[in-house]
A and B are shown apart, each in its own frame.
Chain A
Amino acid sequence: MDVDRRGFIKLAGIAFVGLLAAKPIFDVFSRAEAPKIAAETEVSSKIKWGMAIKIGNCKDGCTECITACDNIHNVPDIPDPKHEIKWIWDANYEEVFPEQDSPYIANSLKSLPVLVLCNHCLKPPCCRVCPTGATWKRADGIVMMDYHRCIGCRYCMAGCPYGARSFNWVDPRPYIKTLNPDYPTRTKGVVEKCDFCEERLAKGLIPACVEACTEKVLVFGDLNDPNSDIRKLLATNYSIQRKAELGTGPNIYYVI
């Protein structure tokens, strides 16, 4: 192709304008990190949130903590067990601690309902496997979820040794009993789980499940603070974690 001087200047001009128009697109691609949300900057790395659960102290048939969590976080009530969404729920002792199961297990522990939720692991396998950074470990120990970045590949569900993650197989909105307008609902096709009520912690409140429990079964606090209630409880009682042998460093402690 032959280009004269005039033609060259014309082409160069068009190319320059084109580049200017493309700049916002380049900006998006060259951005090293996602823009930080306001709350993120206030998170202290000095804090390490954790929870202790006193096994066997629940009132018979009480589900106050589960109901409180479900209502506040718009967790849908989907009848099909295959499509269920669970943030905090209960399972039998033998299922929660398969390595503790034996033919002569104490009567008080046999089929005892034990609360389970995300362990907010020290080294969370879910965050390691996530291909988009849609789930990540915050400085204060909370394993967070970004429902807008999640592509729904469900690799995190394969990676979680606790079955703590739920996927929205269907649109969850029709199954929400009473909508809480202060907390986002989710769309179909994304993964969700317990976030230790980070939205309440930001306001200085304790997690909803802890607040709802009348029997003080759930103890929430800063594991880095030796004077916190949770540290005092753990210092004076025998406690176990779920599948600690996998090296995930779960931050939910079960006090026997």
Chain B
Amino acid sequence: MIEKAFTGSRKYWAWILFLLLVIAIGFGYYLLQWFRGLGVTGMSRDVSWGLYIANMTFLVGVAAGAVMVVLPYYLHNYKAFGKVTTFGEFLAVAAVTMCILFVVIDLGQPVRAFNLILHPSPHSILFWDVIVLSVYLLLNLIVGWYLLRSQHYEEPPKAWVKPLILISIPWAISIHTVTAFIYSGLAARPFWLTALMAPRFLASAFAAGPALLIIACLIMKRVANYDVGKEAIQKLAQIVLYATIITVFFLIVEGFTVYYGQVPEDVSHLDYFFVGLSGQTTLVPWIWTCLIFWVAAIALLLVRRTRKNEKTLVLAAALVFIAMWLDKGLGLLVPGFTPSPLGTIVQYLPTVPEILISLMVWAIGLLILTIFYKITIGVKQESGEEESAHAISF
């Protein structure tokens, strides 16, 4: 099965080579960070988490978003998702791998990472996050690979995989809930101290994950001549639409409480985000870009004609994906730290090494995604039958 990743067109190898190049450049800068310390990033005493943890948080959402295809297919026997489910599972594998890498590159002492296991601390949410992310990675890797293997060898999947599929559904919810709890339990940071954090995270996850899946499916249709079917794509588009609307609704709800309630500390963080504070307006274009993207994407997805048109659909999916990254990435981190507990505003801007190291992790994720998708397409085109033929039913 794995040999399918080693045969491909010139374009396929050019893409792999490009990703390896990005990884190599990023790794060079990671060595710089390794020897000089995290001082090569733009983070500071006051903004002590930045681009790395922002990406981690966002990608947990992408990983959890995969459940939006797994659940309807396995639990409700929604046949149209037969062809995309494996892609959803491998998307989760790539996304969780990126999450774990982003946590590791953010550590000041990465060689001590295993202290997390050596000195387990159940009172720390970060400890639980590492546990749930690792298990989710294994669940998706085992389920996705095993079902693909069964299809390859044309044998019915064994029963042991059923409980794993069932567990993976609530587990997807758990990874993003636990990640939200990292933030929403900190009394020190009023911007994060909100019970709405986990629901907001989940809503944006269910938009960002399927949005990426739409883009991936339409790329596969073009470059690999593999079509998952119109119905699957359109259903995904609907999921993205409603999840995006709920995300925007949650932001409005959050904004109402803060601005109508007028608690000074809460207002200062949101002000910094939306209009700027004491003349500091770095983040203002950031959030407004995000808002415009959301509105544009919702419009494109609501109108039947633009949703059915693949060109405008890809545009809408890309807008959603970028907007969610803006919102749940640095849009979540920086206003949480600004103003600082002592009321000071310290600017945070990612440095070149920081950006290139982040791109390295993204390239690793895309490489994993490409290889898994290449194998999956190979197996599915070979067996040439509907996956639902030997799907698991509950």
Contact = CB atoms under 8 A, between A and B. Distances in A.
Interface string B103-124: 1001111101101101101011
Interface string B149-173: 0000000000000000000000000
Contacts of B126: 129, 131, 153, 155
A84 B44 CA distance: 8
Interface string B255-280: 00000000011000000000000000
Interface bracket on B: 35 or more
B383 interface: no
Interface string A81-102: 1111010000100111010000
Contacts of B36: 170-171, 188
Interface in A19-35: 28-29, 34
B341 A246 contact: no
Contacts, number: 146
B352 interface: no
Contact of B116 (A28, A129, A151): A151
B265 A98 contact: yes
Interface in A127-158: 128-134, 149-155, 157-158
A81 B344 CA distance: 12
Given A154-B48, A158-B49, A169-B37, A247 B187 contact: yes
A159 B188 contact: yes
A90 B95 CA distance: 44
A161 B116 contact: no
Interface in B126-155: 126-127, 130
Mostly, the B contact residues are loop
A163 interface: yes
Nearest to B43: A169
A249 interface: no
Contact of B188 (A134, A158, A188): A158
A150 B109 contact: yes
A166 B46 CA distance: 9
Interface in A54-85: 81-84
Interface string A200-244: 000000000000000000000000000000000000000000010
Contacts of B341: 160-163, 243
Given A82-B346, A128-B123, A153-B126, A189 B186 contact: no
B123, B127, B341, B343 pick with most chain A CB within 10 angstroms: B341
B374 interface: no
A175 to B, nearest CB: 12
A83 B44 contact: yes
Given A154-B48, A246-B187, A247-B187, A132 B119 contact: yes
Nearest to A171: B37
Contacts of A159: 186, 188
Contacts of B115: 132, 134, 149, 151
B108 A168 contact: yes
Interface in B325-366: 336-337, 340-344, 346
Given A131-B124, A151-B113, A152-B109, A161 B187 contact: yes
Given A28-B118, A153-B108, 6 more contacts: A82-B44, A83-B45, A151-B108, A154-B108, A155-B182, A188-B39
21 contacts: A29-B118, A82-B45, A82-B346, A128-B124, A132-B116, A150-B109, A151-B107, A151-B109, A151-B115, A154-B48, A157-B45, A160-B188, A160-B341, A161-B188, A163-B341, A167-B38, A169-B39, A169-B41, A169-B45, A189-B38, A248-B187
Interface of A: 28-29, 34, 81-84, 86, 91, 94-96, 98, 116, 125, 128-134, 149-155, 157-163, 166-171, 187-191, 243, 246-248
